[in-house]
Structure 1
Amino acid sequence: MENNRIRRVVIAGGGTAGWIAACALTHQFRDLLDITLVESEQIGTVGVGESTIPTIRTFHRLLQIDEREFLSSVAGSFKLSISFENWKRPGDHYFHPFGTTGMNTWSCDFHQFWLESLRRGMKSELGDYCLETVASRVQRFAIFDPAGASTQEWSMRWVQSPTSLERADVSYAYHFDAALYAAFLRRKCEGRGLTRVEGKIREVRQDPENGYIRALVMEDGQVVEGDLFIDCTGFRGLLIEQTLKTGYEDWNNWLPCNRAVAMQIESVEPPVPYTRAIAHEAGWRWHIALQHRVGCGWVFSSAHMSDDEAAAKLAAANNNAPVVREPWIVPFRTGRRLKVWNKNVVSLGLASSFIEPLESTSIHLTLSAVTRLVQMFPFAGIDDANVDRYNDVSRDELEHVRNFIILHYHLNQRDEPLWRECREMKLPDDLAQRIQLFRDTAYAWQGEDELFRLDSWTHVMLGQGVVPREHHPLTRGLGDTDMARLFEAVRQPINRMVAAMPSHEDFLKRYCPADPSVWNLRRAPAQTGA
């Protein structure tokens, strides 16, 4: 057992995935492991990961990362929701918010009462009863400070009351510059015992008996030995695929887009507290406003649009705004490795899987995988049962996220070839069941280990045009007066809180203004994180 003990961990590749792994492992295991990260500044990274979901805040708290320091260092902005535009059909719009909607009972969810109110002729939108949606509409933002730091000028204290139903929290995530984030995490690792090796990997040495990887040989001849290797080499999967031949499951039959044109432009208006996802004839485009610039991109299917046409349409969609970084092409293949942990290699980030960035899950999946590795770390040696469990949980997580992304494509009423194909595609069985059950009864759920909440499924299915045939019969027992009183009890506190919030732009300026050095990078060529 002692001979098999894991003492040396080697992380192959930097970028967001590599430095997330380095930060987590050095924070948890600095006295138990020798950790080395190998990367080359000559090798670029994909550079489009600039939008997150609220789980990143929990991860940061575990690593004792100060929010204001972090946001200032990465030119970050806040994110309350995703704005889906033109997805059902051109001209339609809805928000997928991070917060809860209304107030559920143990027997009946709030959206069921809302559907009953529509049946009775009461006019409202489901988003009226979600703080994050209402704040997104008017581009306002503030946070509740659980530590009670009253000196923070724009922080707000809201007390939950049984009568007013006032909320005491805001569910939010971040937008940030991925290159600056990787650099920020790298600084956090310094002084924690991490060894960084600069250079390109020339050779991967394997044990001739069991195929385990034993060392990485650098171009300068340096040999980096390890017991456990973490592959963060991006799409190429240098260790997990090129060396171990793990295999890949392709999901292009469900997720048709396979390319993106990305670019960075100067800001011409205040940053909004949400990600914009705007459907077009051959896919969709993103628009992510940071403090110092805007990240934007055109996701498309190469079977329905050429690279040149995509680049031209992206520039036109942004009114040919001044360019911070010229457009670059990002080819990708949606799917997953057949094993994200194979032998003594654990793959992370793009080396393990890729689900397109529509719901901003790429960084979350890396955080989740690293957390799982910390919890299941094989100190005593690599055990098949441990590896199998890690792979099973990873597969289930990826398939759940995949199905939620498919949902957006399949539920559409657009008339272009790509969208007709998506509408007619054969769905994974469990996704087809979810849609049919919601269409029949308005029933939605979140499984025990699933990322996307009931509210997420509800807002997206309704936003994409699913009209339930029936809803819960218990809602009919509430009289008109009581139902109107219930809705007002939810809506009024939300409206008061949003009215008291500063604009998102003002909050950023006072709470976490970008470090002045960041602004000088706007026109400099930037290496960006995966």
Structure 2
Amino acid sequence: MKNSPIRKVVIVGGGTAGWMAAAGLSRVLGALPGLSITLIESEAIGTVGVGEATIPQITAFNRLIGLDEMAFMRETRATYKLGIEFVDWLRPGHSYVHPFGSFGLDMLGIEFQHFWLRGRELGDTAAIDSYSIAAVAGKSGKFTWPQPDNRKSPLSKLSYAFQFDAGRYAKFLRGLSEQAGVRRVEGRVVEVLQHPESGFVTGLKLDDQTEVEGELFIDCSGFRSLLLGQTLGVPFNDWSRWLPCDSAVAIPCELGGANEPLTRSTARSAGWQWRIPLQHRIGNGHVFSSAHMDGEAATDMLLANLDGKPLAEPNRLSFTAGHRARAWEKNVVALGLAGGFLEPLESTSIHLVQSGIARLLSLFPDSGFSEVEIGRYNDETEREYVDIRDFLLLHYSATERDDSEFWRYCRNLEPTDGLAEKIEMFRSSGRIFREHNELFTEASWLSVMLSQGISPQRYHPAARLLDDAETLARLGNIRGAIRNTADQLPSQSDFLSERGGTIAASERLTA
């Protein structure tokens, strides 16, 4: 029997996740005959709102929904992001940039890092960062768009993302979604209605007794996981054994300090502090382990390390690292915090929402809700969480720090099988393999493993095909080309100003 198309999609919760879902679905599926998309949110229920930094995949989502980049930059008070600077993670006083894009140039058919390792053996001490246009430009406060067609330029290797006000991003997406026909309903869900036999969700009763019926429900209710967790009882996979941080305090402050297109993560005695510079303010937060530091001490540490005057009261939250065992159950799909949470160390929170939307669009169901498609969705979602978990774990376990109980605990964390295999392969031969098109590329793994002290014992034999002098000369030429290119780029501020992407000077909150 032929199943009927889905006609009624209901999104529970607004915020970044809800309005990204509304914008994505309305853009791609909005023209389907009879399809309605309704989003329910309550002004009385706040959002977490700390996902202000992104990774390059966000540019694809913005293009998908038809955003004008400069209007987006103005409306969300956004800045550009070329990578993440990690301070004090290997040891106090050490820093590096995990950049967007690649390192150097592959030569003789093999990856660049093997020639870099050969250069180290020959006495070239230049850090791997100096072979990344994103890292060099980022630390110089420079920015431009990539030039993928200019193959001879380091800019062909550049990627970028954004840092923005998450609340303003949700508001911006709301405007686009409502223009595309999404209906917003103000209200708080007080009862979830289910089919008595199948258990499928059939509707939601709001606090004003309004009932909203639906066929497909998207749970963007945050940590409450109202539909997937509370109603359908999908269990939570707790990963705190690998990721011990379980608390955070966030606060915005006035502009001050460096104005670089980089997110900064600074290791602290029981966790780490983020710094996200926007056009109008700086977003700050302290992620920490409550087993190693109490909330008051964590707040005091954050307030003592701001670049400007605080602009709000500290926002405190608790969490458990992990994810729901299934992101799609019956006719409910969870996005964002409703489906899981991994600390924002590598700015993956918004990406997980984006990839969940893309996966749903690819596997969009009919009224039959085939278990084949649902199973595929869940398998791919879990795999993505696992891949990100392992990459985050690398940051904690690969460290020389032993100056606090927290860091001594992290140094002794047992790696997962997948992470252990990657580290063993890299330490043995300098090789990195990207499994099943995982989120983080070979360049990302290379950056973090090298910069956090994992040293390969060997390199590819073909790296010896160039004689010593030519190896050193080529390495020097690549560094020089990257440095010269970065020097000629406009500052981030000039780039935005020339294209109409800046906010009014009166909106910038400075000391």
TM bin (shorter chain): over 0.9
Q: How does 1:104-503 map to 2 (within 5 A)?
A: 104-105=106-107, 107-144=109-146, 159-161=150-152, 166-168=154-156, 170-269=158-257, 271-318=259-306, 321-415=308-402, 416-503=404-491
Going from structure 1 to structure 2, the CA distance change for 1:380 and 1:224 (only over 3 Å counts) comes to closer
Question: Which secondary structure does the structure 1 equivalent of 2:91 belong to?
Answer: coil
1:74 and 2:76 correspond: yes
Q: Is the 1:73–1:514 Cα contact (8 Å) retained in structure 2?
A: no
Q: Is the 2:150–2:156 Cα contact (8 Å) retained in structure 1?
A: yes
Going from structure 1 to structure 2, the CA distance change for 1:518 and 1:351 (only over 3 Å counts) comes to farther
Q: Is the 2:38–2:182 Cα contact (8 Å) retained in structure 1?
A: yes
Which residue type is aligned with residue 490 of structure 2? P
Which residue type is aligned with residue 160 of structure 1? R
Query: Which segments of 5 or more consecutive residues in structure 2 lack a partner in the other structure?
Result: none
1:12 alignment counterpart: 12
Q: How does 1:512-523 map to 2 (within 5 A)?
A: 512-516=500-504, 519=507
Q: Is the 1:298–1:311 Cα contact (8 Å) retained in structure 2?
A: yes
How far residue 28 of structure 1 moved from its aligned partner, in angstroms, is 1.0
How far residue 495 of structure 1 moved from its aligned partner, in angstroms, is 1.8
Question: Which secondary structure does the structure 2 equivalent of 1:204 belong to?
Answer: strand
Q: Distance in 1 between matches of 2:83 and 2:295?
A: 29
Q: Distance in 2 between matches of 1:351 and 1:82?
A: 26
Going from structure 1 to structure 2, the CA distance change for 1:260 and 1:221 (only over 3 Å counts) comes to same
How far residue 271 of structure 1 moved from its aligned partner, in angstroms, is 2.5
How far residue 509 of structure 1 moved from its aligned partner, in angstroms, is 3.0
Q: Is the 1:271–1:291 Cα contact (8 Å) retained in structure 2?
A: no
How much identity, in percent, do the aligned residues show? 43
Deviations along 1:351-392, whole A, 9 cap, x unmatched? 001110000000011100101100110035300111001000
How far residue 105 of structure 1 moved from its aligned partner, in angstroms, is 4.0
Q: Distance in 1 between matches of 2:75 and 2:285?
A: 23
Question: Which secondary structure does the structure 2 equivalent of 1:167 belong to?
Answer: helix
Q: Distance in 2 between matches of 1:97 and 1:378?
A: 38
1:151 alignment counterpart: none
Which residue type is aligned with residue 465 of structure 1? G
Kindly report the root-mean-square deviation, in angstroms, between the aligned alpha carbons of the 2 structures.
1.8
Which residue type is aligned with residue 300 of structure 1? F
Which residue type is aligned with residue 34 of structure 1? S
Q: Which moved more, 1:379-388 or 1:274-283?
A: 379-388
Q: Is the 1:83–1:93 Cα contact (8 Å) retained in structure 2?
A: yes
Going from structure 1 to structure 2, the CA distance change for 1:326 and 1:513 (only over 3 Å counts) comes to farther
How far residue 2 of structure 1 moved from its aligned partner, in angstroms, is 5.5
Which residue type is aligned with residue 497 of structure 2? K
1:21 and 2:21 correspond: yes
Alignment size in residue pairs: 507
How far residue 108 of structure 1 moved from its aligned partner, in angstroms, is 2.2
Q: TM-score, normalised by structure 1?
A: 0.92
Q: Looking at both structures, which has the greater relative contact order when contacts are Cα pairs under 8 Å and sequence separation is at least 6?
A: 1
Which residue type is aligned with residue 173 of structure 1? A
1:89 and 2:80 correspond: no
Q: TM-score, normalised by structure 2?
A: 0.96
Q: Distance in 2 between matches of 1:487 and 1:145?
A: 22
Which residue type is aligned with residue 63 of structure 1? I
Q: Distance in 1 between matches of 2:101 and 2:157?
A: 9
Q: Distance in 1 between matches of 2:389 and 2:335?
A: 17
Q: Distance in 1 between matches of 2:180 and 2:306?
A: 43
Q: Is the 1:292–1:514 Cα contact (8 Å) retained in structure 2?
A: no
Question: Which secondary structure does the structure 2 equivalent of 1:474 belong to?
Answer: helix
Q: Distance in 2 between matches of 1:243 and 1:478?
A: 63
How far residue 173 of structure 1 moved from its aligned partner, in angstroms, is 0.4
Question: Which secondary structure does the structure 2 equivalent of 1:329 belong to?
Answer: strand
